[in-house]
Structure 1
Amino acid sequence: MTTKEMIVTILEENKDHYFSGETLAAQLNVSRAAISKAVKELKKEGFTIDAVTNKGYCLSSESDVLSSAVIESYLQKNGYYVETVTYKTIESTNQTAKKMALDGANHGTVVLSEEQTQGRGRLGRSFYSPKNSGIYMSIILRPQFDMQSSLLITTAASVAVCRAIEKLTRIQAEIKWVNDIYLNGKKVCGILTEAVTDFESGTIEHIILGIGINVTTANFPDEIKEIASALLNSSSNKLTRNELAAEIIYQVFEITNELQTKEFMSEYKKRSFVIGQKVNVIQPTNTFLATAIDINEQGGLVVKAEDGQVIELNTGEVSIRKV
């Protein structure tokens, strides 16, 4: 880590606590001038650092800037050593991650951004990605399991995000098939998975797992404000986006160990609010009414159409029918 990265990691993990320049210099084995220079650079990057004579430097509890160094520090405490890359603004983390994967980026590499200008959701939709209030990230996965297991990545990732949210906030999030996370009836997170396969061998070369979560987003465009919400209702909440991003990444890495055993499927079903509901099934060439009755072992939604036919859906989407 650079001096700047080490300083922000120390301050982030000890918010509202002052460290003198002398203490930081001794701890990092650098000069006090180097500490002062690094702090000035951090302030320019948006970190809210107070500098008080005879007290030192302190990161405000309200400061919440995405930092690779801090995220990696959290992950290292859980035994994961991966590369993370953060941007102030980017067209799409998935697009950047795909380019990095083709250039040989390692398994587990994570791309994050404060803002996306062309964030994408499923079926070509845009994903609202305003700056400084969400987590927009893509994880490069190079699976060591079979293609069938790989198809469950999106399902597993939904559970991983819910686990991370619940661990850090005690909030019990729900899942709308196949890949949306809901809170109090409104969407707070979307997941987009894209895979590159080797047609000759039939194996998956890499998977790009994109996760977009509204953390403290206050204002939504008119077209989505009735269906979208934020995880936290206040930007002053003690939970930082760095901590939440790290926990989500950790939970994703952990749940990949369950792909072949499918241990997470029972949890996915428990968190689903679609099962038992009347739904509109929306497919590329067809739309019909049905009742969601189950989720199969491959993550497909099992529905019973109005004519009594039982159908297993592996693609498409559903909307809850309002009675």
Structure 2
Amino acid sequence: MNVKSELLASLASADGDYISGAALADKLGVSRNAVWKAVKALETEGFSISSVTSKGYKLNDDNNRLSADLITPLLKTKELGRNLRVYDTVESTNNITKEQDSNNVPHGTTSVAERQTAGRGRIGRNFVSPAGKGLYMSTLVRPRFSLEYAPMITGAAACAVAEAVEYCCGQPVMIKWVNDLYMNGKKICGILTEASFGLEMRTLDCAVIGIGINVRSVGDSFDEELRKRATSIEDETGVAVNRNKLCAEVLNRLEIYMKKIENRSFLAAYREREILTGNIITANVGNKQIIGEAMGIDDNANLIVQLQSGETIHLNSGEANLCRIKNV
């Protein structure tokens, strides 16, 4: 690492406390003047750092610049996020992570971006990803379980992200089957899982879990129509969440929840948060729309729906989209 990276990592590890210029210089093996120059360079790049005579330097809580040097010290994972890259702008973090897999990157490889120009949701929908407003990240996982568990990855990831958001802002987060997180009736997050299968052996080679969270106030970044359906953590809670901290918390919890898929223990948390159950819903299945009552989530993370005819069906994420509570 260079002096700037080492300085950022040291300040992040201080957990909001000041570190003297002398202590930083000694730790980094440079002069105090070199520390001062590195601080000024980081401030020019958008990092918020306080400097107080006789106290030293500290990284401010209002820092809103993503950096691997700020995320890594907060990780408690063994593998997820340990191979981490942060980009200014990408078309899609899912795309760039899948491209890296051609080099056989390790389990847990994670890509994070300040901005996406072509962020994607399910069935090709656009995910608006303005700079500095959200957390756009994708993690490549290489599970050792069989194909039958692959459809549950998104549900487990939704639980992990919901817990991370709640930890950072203190307000409840709900899940709309299968892949959206909600606060106060509006979407704050979408999750897109794209899997690669070994068909001959019926195994899951890898999966890329894409997560897009609206973190800071969206302002005029969303058009009027989108603001009716989507919001951000800050707009709903007033809390300007630190995106580096949120990223680390997502990875910390995702590593835990990936281990809960085979025994299906994540389903209890998923069911507690799921908001369609008990409501009359509409859903697009193939080329037709169905109407029925959402009865719950089965043991394969499918949505149980009782149709108006009385028939009960189990919808999987591959066949149903645009599930919404019906306006009555």
TM class by smaller structure: over 0.9
Q: Is the 8 A contact 2:111 2:138 kept in 1?
A: yes
How many residues end up aligned between the 2 structures?
322
Q: Is the 8 A contact 1:15 1:60 kept in 2?
A: no
Q: Which residues of 2 match residues 1-323 of structure 1 at below 5 A?
A: 1-14=1-14, 17-51=17-51, 55-75=55-75, 77-80=76-79, 82-219=82-219, 220-233=222-235, 237=239, 239-314=241-316, 315-317=319-321, 318-323=323-328
Structure 1 gap ranges (5+):
none
Matches of 1:269 and 1:19 in 2, distance apart?
A: 45
Query: The residue matched to 2:158 in structure 1 has which SS?
Result: helix
Distance 1:33 1:196, change over 3 A: same
Structure 1 position 164, deviation (Å)? 1.3
Structure 1 position 78, deviation (Å)? 5.0
Q: Is the 8 A contact 1:279 1:320 kept in 2?
A: yes
Matches of 2:5 and 2:59 in 1, distance apart?
A: 13
Matches of 1:42 and 1:281 in 2, distance apart?
A: 49
Matches of 1:264 and 1:91 in 2, distance apart?
A: 32
Matches of 1:217 and 1:193 in 2, distance apart?
A: 26
Corresponding letter in the other structure for 1:257: K
Distance 1:224 1:234, change over 3 A: closer
Structure 1 position 57, deviation (Å)? 3.0
Greater Cα offset, 106-115 or 212-221: 212-221
Matches of 1:285 and 1:241 in 2, distance apart?
A: 39
CA RMSD of aligned residues (A): 2.0
Structure 1 position 31, deviation (Å)? 2.7
Matches of 1:23 and 1:235 in 2, distance apart?
A: 38
Distance 1:108 1:16, change over 3 A: closer
Matches of 1:135 and 1:295 in 2, distance apart?
A: 28
Structure 1 position 109, deviation (Å)? 0.8
Structure 1 position 33, deviation (Å)? 3.9
Matches of 1:4 and 1:160 in 2, distance apart?
A: 32
Distance 1:303 1:60, change over 3 A: same
Structure 1 position 238, deviation (Å)? 6.2
Greater Cα offset, 7-16 or 159-168: 7-16
TM-score for both structures, normalised by structure 2: 0.92
Corresponding letter in the other structure for 1:271: R
Query: The residue matched to 1:89 in structure 2 has which SS?
Result: strand
Structure 1 position 51, deviation (Å)? 4.2
Structure 1 position 102, deviation (Å)? 1.8
Matches of 2:122 and 2:185 in 1, distance apart?
A: 19
Q: Is the 8 A contact 1:15 1:61 kept in 2?
A: no
How many percent of aligned residue pairs carry the same amino acid?
37
Q: Is the 8 A contact 1:130 1:217 kept in 2?
A: no
TM-score for both structures, normalised by structure 1: 0.93
Deviation track 1:106-128 (CA, whole Å, cap 9, x = no partner) reads 11011000111110001100001
Corresponding letter in the other structure for 1:83: N
Greater Cα offset, 288-297 or 22-31: 22-31
Structure 2 gap ranges (5+):
none
Matches of 1:14 and 1:247 in 2, distance apart?
A: 17
